[in-house]
Amino acid sequence: MEYNIRVTKEDFSIDEIKDEIMSDDTGAVVVFNGVVRSTNNGYSVKSLEIQRYEDMTLDELKKVREEVINNFKIDDIYILHRYGLLKVGDNIVGIVVTAPHRDAAFDACRYCIDRLKEIVPLWKKETTEEGEDKWV
């Protein structure tokens, strides 16, 4: 397993991730914790199934991490994404960025989630309360 990158079915604690990568030099910590919401485009969501292209997902997350490390003045970044069947309120993605200063940490975190959505091969299928499946 690559350090600071995980793709898993298991739930996670964003606080544990934060504690793992913080150091005495950390001046700013920015966290993004994406969760399954109960509505989307006017529909009530019952569950969300996330599928992945197993080998490629981890490789693309490594690319995103390297881009962030190389383009922002940060200390570290941890990226975790879940797959499998999730229910409303479950964690989907966790990103923690540590940096000497807040601007770099905020910019790096936003870039990371935006880039992740662009290139990482993950597919989401929502099941509505009415029983309809929708790929989103």
As averages over each run of 10 residues, the pLDDT of the chain (136 residues) reads 86 96 96 97 95 94 97 98 98 98 98 98 95 90
Map tokens 């693309």 to a residue: 60
Helix (H) and strand (E) counts for the chain? 3, 9
pLDDT computed for residue 1 by the predictor = 44
Query: Which one-letter DSSP state was computed for residue 50?
Result: E
Q: How far apart are CA 127 and CA 38, in angstroms?
A: 11
pLDDT computed for residue 3 by the predictor = 77
Class of domain 5-126: alpha beta
Is the separation of the CB atoms in 116 and 32 below 8 Å? no
Domain ranges of the chain: 5-126
Q: How far apart are CA 59 and CA 75, in angstroms?
A: 21
Q: pTM for this one? A: 0.94
pLDDT computed for residue 27 by the predictor = 97
pLDDT computed for residue 68 by the predictor = 98
